[in-house]
Structure formats: structure tokens, C-alpha cells
Amino acid sequence: MNKLFNKFMRRVISFFANNDLAQELTGGVSGEMMITPGMPELIRAAGAEGCILLANNGVLPLDATTTVSVFGRVQRDYFYVGYGSGGDVRTPYQVNLIEGLRNNGKIKLNEDLAAIYEVWCSKNEADQGFWGHWPRYYPEMPLKEEVVKAAADRSDVAIIVIGRAAGEDRENVLKKGSYYLTDNEIKMLDLVTANFNKVIVIINSGNIIDMAWTEKYGDKLSSILFAWQGGMESGNAIADVLAGTVNPCGKLTDTIARRYEDYPSGAFFGNKEGNNYVEDIFVGYRYFETFAPNKVLYPFGFGLSYTTFKIACSDVSREKDEVILKVHVANTGNLPGKEIVQVYCSTPQGKLGKPAKVLVAFDKTELLSPGKSAEVMIKFNIKQLASYDDSGVTGKKSAYILEPGNYEILLGNSVRETIKVWELTIALDELEVISRGEGVMNSSLGVRGNAGALGGVTESLRAKGIPAVITTDGPAGIRVKKTCSLLPCGTLLACTWNTKLIQDIFHKVGEEMLDKGSDMILSPGMNIHRNPLCGRNFEYYSEDPLISGKIAAAAIIGIQHDGLSACPKHFACNNQETNRNYNDSRVSERALREIYLKGFEIVVKEANPQNIMTSYNKINGVWSHYSYELVTSVLRGEWGYQGNVITDWWMRYASSPEFPQIEGNAYRVRAQVDVLMPGGRTALSKNGKNDGTLLKTYGKKDGITLGEMQRVAANILKYVMNSSAMDR
Ligand code: GAL
């Protein structure tokens, strides 16, 4: 085919007998046409596949018995490409529409009408203009009614072709002959639709132009084909589509709005000084599908075919951040064809605001015969669903954010024709979940008899590589359903005044922890023996803060090897058991500093505990697990504590006196008490579920901020990622 074509073209060139022209056309190799083998076929195929069939009442594809009358001078003076550097290619040849129809061989042409156009065009040569002043259109041949009637007498179908071009230094303008049709083009449409029952309109343009007139003519237009500019094979490509050699399978990559003014950029384009992109991200379908769907004439992703397809999602799976859709596409019509499967996402509005739908993936089937089907695997990454926060409204400025909420995955063959096939819930609440333990003691995630789990307490967190950390009691040995060494009580250990011995004993406790599956032991207990009646004095060490601190430090140093963690407790002033969850330790700042906090200060500075547990009680009216002053100002700010803070088990509900709308877990997180333990079934969380107090004020005035939640999450993760649980 190619060799025959080259031979024909050589004859054409030799016919001109003009060496310059021959040289020009052959790129300087005399007599040899410079055509890349296989390129004409590819260009022709693309020219056909990129055509958009906007409307068709069945007139297309033409059958071989049909005689076609072609109207519009662009049939001969065709726009193969736009202007400037993007189009100025020395083509070896170009096939216009009328030539393409002739070449096709399956379409009968009204050659009388073609001759009329040929003569007129040769007398009214299309002015090609010059740089920046190229023609946006060619003046249309004034059509006489008798010409149209004569054509109608000898042909069944009329084709009207309308052409436009723009380019570098040559915008389109809101005038007739550019964005709008000319009077002669409208007159042509009027005459032809008045005399033909079957009218096909072809738009040969590199830009979207006004298409509102298609509504005015309605079903007087049998078919509308937006053919763009098809390069050197233009005419052949369109003829392939009209004859049905190629089933049109192109889809719009732009929205065609009813009016220019409907485009959100409409009033903000063309200003010499500068243009404010006021529509921001809401370009094209992102605007129309969100705010003005009724202003759309032809939607993004739209394009008809000569056949029909059924698209169904047979499976959706997720592997880490990749989502895979298995899509079944069946040709349910009578002609072979290709379908373009499109995947959109409808994201939650969140704080950033989002378009109604965003394209996240697409694929095109191979040519499917009638009755045949294909499985198409379409993948996208969840990261594509994120939105960029350029204002910091989410608490994370200049970053892509996957805001919490439900992300609906939609499948279809245009932005308008979709069905929901999957839903992805992005948890912020993972920031909520990680700030709590799993919710129960004796977690099924660890050794029987454990005190509870924290860190990777949900499947989704564990899927991110965050392990569940298993906590166990206590100061006199590991409290689980397995046999473990029973140590002397705390006071006895302190009475040895032998820190080396204490360290050795708790190093062995660490070995037992590794053996039994404990990552964190809730020890040492180190509250001051303020009164001999306190029930838990046996767990604690002394009335003196120095010996308490030194013995506790030895225990912590002994325990913390191989990622194991101690958890000195109860921070602070837990010096009686009576009404322990509510009692208020009312104590001067001096006594706090010199006596009740001092031991904890020693262990923080000398033993670097990975975890610390707050106490049940209040201190001067504020529960320790809500005390910003105790946990952030003193522990972290003054002493430089870098570790994780957990509550004692089942703390009590309260709202913040400083920020009354902040309550419960938000009150706790604001104080930087990182983990609520065991995390559920408390006044704050019932039946293992969170009570919602953490996120209730998120994003509201004085509410909990993303940063505060991320801060505790960072404290937790820093510990967890260095813990023995990682190895397990
Ligand atoms: C609490 C106790 C803590 C810790 C926790 C987990 O009642 O005060 O020290 O042992 O139980 O069992």
C-alpha cells in the first residue's frame, strides 16, 4: 500500500515538473518521497480515533449505496493543523476531505457539487496570511438555494464541513469566523437542513468553538463529528469514520459549554497585563460538574460509537496504596468498536473544598467484536486523591493532604455517565485511634493476661507497619497468665540501697519480658511514701525523693534493653488509694518540686524512660492526665522528656477550664498526654469505641488542631518504631 502510494505521489510531483517543488516535497532527496514507513497508517488511525462523534441518529456509518453531497469550501481548503511553531511542518503531502472521500472508495460522491466548490475555491484562493495574521477561517462560498436543491435531487446525505484555525500569536476571538459561525455558514446550515433529511456536520478545528447552534437545529442534524485537525492524512481518516471502516471511539478531553460566558475563565482571559485565574482549580469539568452541570452541552469524556458497550466492575482490590479495578467491557452492539473506560473519584469536601469528580485513571479496550468482551485492569494510587493545602487550613500548609471522609470511586465512559463501584474511607480518625489503646485489657494481640495494647491497635495502622505494643504489669514482676519471677516488693528493693543489684534484677525482668511477649512493663511504681497507711506503699520506694529516683532509675536502666520499655508511675502525687480516681492532692509548688516531682525528674534525666504513666488523681484541682502544666511545661519543657506519656487505666471525663469546648480526649491530647489506656470502656470511651471527644472540635475555633494530634502521634510512633514490638 505504502509503495503504491509513494509511486502515485512521485507521479504527482513529477507532474509539477518543478524541481524546487520536488526538492521541497522530498526534503531534498530528488525523486524519493520522504515518508517514514508506517507513519501514514498511524496518522490515519489516530486521525480517525481522535474524532468525536457528538451526535448520530443512525445516518452514520454511511453505506456504499449512499451518494453524498459535501458542502463547505473547507472540503478542499482544509485546516490540517494550527499555526506557528506547533504546526509549521513541511509535510510531504496532505489529503483534504474531498480527496479522502474519493480515496476511500466506499463512498459515492456528488462530483457535480465538488466541482462547483473546486472552481469557486480556485477563484477565491484561501489567503494563508503571515505570522500572527493567519486566517482563523476561510470565507465560505455563498450558497445558492438552486445549488442545494440540485444536490438534494441527486444525493441522500449532505455533509457540511466548517473549519477554523488559531495558533501562536493568533488567539481565537469572540467573533463570527472564529469562535462563532459566519453568516454564510449559518445560511449554508439553513439551506442544507431545509433540503436534506440527512445532514452530517463535520467540525475541522483545533479549538473548541461555539456549538450552541447544534441545539437550534436539533434533529435536523443527523450526525455531528468533531474532527479537529488530522494532519496530512486528515481526509482519509474522516472518510474511514464516515464509511465505518473505523468506528469512532474518541472522547472529549474538554467540556463543550453552551456559551463562552459559561466558562469560568471567560471573563478573565485575554487581558494584556495579566489574568487572574479566579476559577483556581475549578477548570473545565471540575467547574461544570461541581457548580454548573446544566451549562454543559457536551461533557468531558463524552463520545459516541456506532456500537454500544456495557461496562461493569467485577472486582476492586487494594494493595497498600494501589487500588486495582477489574473492569468487564462487553460490546453489546452490532459493529466492532473500542471503548474508553474512565475512573473518577468523588472526594469529601473537607476543609479544602473539592471538585465533584476528578479523573484518576482510564484505559481503552482493543477492538471488540460484537458480542465479545474484555477484562480491563485499571490502577491508581491513593495518593492521587490528595488535595494540595496552599493555605494551611488543614493544619498542614504547602502539602498534599488526604482529608478524612469517604472517597467514592466511580466508573463510566464519561464524566457524566458513572456508577459508584467502591468507597474508600480515609481515617483522620487514625490520628484519633493511635492516641488510644486498643480498648481492653488482656488484648488478643498479645500474651494472655496482658494489661492492654497500644500503637498498631487497628488493622489499618498495622497495615502501615505500626505494630501493636503489648503492655503488662508491674513492679514485682510480669503479670500475665504465664509463670514469671516474683520480685521482692519495691520498698525492700529500695532498702538495699544497691542500685547495681536493682539494675541486674530488672535486666533479667527484661529478658523474661522478651520471653513472655511483653514490650512495656508498667513499672517501677515510685510515688512518695507520704503516709504509712497508703495501700500501695509496698510497690513504692521511700519517703525520700532521691532514693526513690535513684532506685527507679536503676530499674528503668535494667529493663530498657532490646527495645523494651519501663513505665515509671504514677506521675504524680498518687499517695493514697481512697477515692483514688477523684481525690485531689492539694500541695504547694515547693513540695511538688522538692518532693513529689523530684524522683520523676531524676529518672527522666538519668534513665531516659520511653514511657511514663500519669496518675488517677488531681493535683491542685487538675487531673494529672489533663495537666498541660505538668506534662508539657514541666516534664517535656523543663526536664526535656522525649518519650511517650500514657494515662493510668480508665481515667475520668472532664472538660477544660481554659477551653470549655475542649473536653475528654481533646483535653488530654492538648496536654500532650499521648495515649488513653486501655483505650475503651471508660467514661471517655464506651464499649471500646472512642467517645468522639477528640475530633468533635477539630477545625473549630480553639478546637483541637491537626498539629496537636500529630504531635502525640509522633510521640507514640517514635516510641513504637524503636520498640521490641517492631522485631516481633
Ligand atoms: C491501674 C494501676 C496501674 C496499672 C494499671 C494496669 O489500676 O493504677 O498502676 O497497674 O492498673 O493494670
Specify the pTM. 0.64
Written as nine digits, the cell of 113 is: 457539487
Residue 717 lies in a domain: yes
Q: Which of 201, 225, 260 is the last residue of a domain?
A: 260
Q: How far is the CA of 564 from the centre of ligand 1 (A)?
A: 19
The residue whose CA is least distant from atom 7 of ligand 1 is: 649
Q: Which of 381, 416, 437 is the last residue of a domain?
A: 437
Q: How far is the CA of 522 from the centre of ligand 1 (A)?
A: 8
Q: Are residues 519 and 378 in the same domain?
A: no
Q: Are residues 448 and 429 in the same domain?
A: no
Q: What is the separation of C-alpha 494 from the centre of its chain, rounded to a whole number of angstroms?
A: 59
Q: Are residues 395 and 455 in the same domain?
A: no
Q: For the chain, give the percent of residues with pLDDT over 90.
A: 80
Which pLDDT value is given to residue 701? Answer: 87
Residue 296 lies in a domain: no
Q: Residue 310: pLDDT band by 50, 70, 90 thresholds? A: very high
CA distances from 696 to 349, 429, 688 (A): 17, 11, 18
Which pLDDT value is given to residue 394? Answer: 85
Contacts of 105 (CB under 8 A, 6+ apart): none
Residue 276 lies in a domain: no
The residue whose CA is least distant from atom 3 of ligand 1 is: 648
Sign of CA pseudo-dihedral 194, 195, 200, 205: negative
The rounded distance, in Å, linking the Cα atoms of 505 and 499 is 10
Q: Which CATH number characterizes residue 162's domain?
A: 3.40.50.1700
Q: Which amino acid is at 110?
A: N
Range of the domain at 599: 443-727
- The arithmetic mean of pLDDT across residues 27-31, rounded, is 43
Which pLDDT value is given to residue 16? Answer: 45
The rounded distance, in Å, linking the Cα atoms of 397 and 198 is 58
Hey, is 78 helix, strand or coil? coil
Contacts of 603 (CB under 8 A, 6+ apart): 526, 549, 552, 553, 556, 568, 609
The residue whose CA is least distant from atom 10 of ligand 1 is: 473
Q: Which amino acid is at 193?
A: T
Q: Are residues 458 and 532 in the same domain?
A: yes
Active-site residue, from 77, 156, 429, 648: 648
Q: Are residues 34 and 111 in the same domain?
A: yes
Q: Tell me: the pLDDT tens digits for 640-680?
A: 999 999 999 988 889 999 898 999 999 999 999 999 999 87
Q: Tell me: the pLDDT tens digits for 79-100?
A: 999 998 888 888 999 999 999 9
Question: Can you give the C-alpha Rg of the chain in angstroms?
Answer: 39
Written as nine digits, the cell of 446 is: 498479645
Residue 273 lies in a domain: no
Query: Is the pLDDT score of 429 beyond 90?
Result: no
The rounded distance, in Å, linking the Cα atoms of 450 and 35 is 78
DSSP-assigned states of every residue in 307-340: S-EEEEEEEEEEETTEEEEEEEEEE-SSS-B--E
Which atom number of ligand 1 is nearest to the Cα of residue 471?
A: 6
Q: Which of 480, 522, 576, 646 to mutate to test the pocket of ligand 1 (most atoms within 8 A of CB)?
A: 522
Q: Which CATH number characterizes residue 326's domain?
A: 2.60.40.10
Which atom number of ligand 1 is nearest to the Cα of residue 678?
A: 6
Q: Judging by DSSP bridges, how do beta strands 309-319 and 322-331 pair with one another?
A: antiparallel
Q: What share of the chain is helix, strand, coil (3-state, %, to 5)?
A: 35, 20, 45
Q: How far is the CA of 579 from the centre of ligand 1 (A)?
A: 15
Q: How many domains does the chain have?
A: 3
The residue whose CA is least distant from atom 5 of ligand 1 is: 649
Which atom number of ligand 1 is nearest to the Cα of residue 539?
A: 9
Residue 297 lies in a domain: no
The residue whose CA is least distant from atom 11 of ligand 1 is: 649
Q: Are residues 366 and 459 in the same domain?
A: no
Q: How far is the CA of 620 from the centre of ligand 1 (A)?
A: 22
Segment 7-15 long-range contacts (CB within 8 Å, at least 24 positions apart): 9/33, 9/35, 9/92, 9/93, 12/93
Q: Are residues 339 and 447 in the same domain?
A: no
The residue whose CA is least distant from atom 1 of ligand 1 is: 649
Q: Tell me: the pLDDT tens digits for 222-265?
A: 999 999 999 999 999 999 999 999 999 999 999 999 999 999 99
Query: Is the pLDDT score of 31 beyond 80?
Result: no
Which pLDDT value is given to residue 573? Answer: 96
Q: Are residues 391 and 424 in the same domain?
A: yes
Query: Is the pLDDT score of 372 beyond 70?
Result: yes
Average the pLDDT over each of 46-50, 179-183, 393-397, 559-563 and give the range with the smallest value: 393-397
Q: How far is the CA of 647 from the centre of ligand 1 (A)?
A: 10
Which pLDDT value is given to residue 25? Answer: 45
Q: Which of 437, 464, 491 is the last residue of a domain?
A: 437
Number of H helices, E strands in the chain: 21, 25
Q: How far is the CA of 476 from the centre of ligand 1 (A)?
A: 13
Q: Are residues 499 and 382 in the same domain?
A: no
Which pLDDT value is given to residue 23? Answer: 47
Active site residue 648: yes
For ligand 1, residues with CB inside 6 Å are: 451, 473-474, 522, 569, 648-649
Q: Are residues 462 and 485 in the same domain?
A: yes
Which atom number of ligand 1 is nearest to the Cα of residue 570?
A: 9
Which pLDDT value is given to residue 602? Answer: 97
Q: Tell me: the pLDDT tens digits for 102-161?
A: 999 899 999 999 999 999 999 999 989 988 889 999 999 999 999 999 999 999 999 999
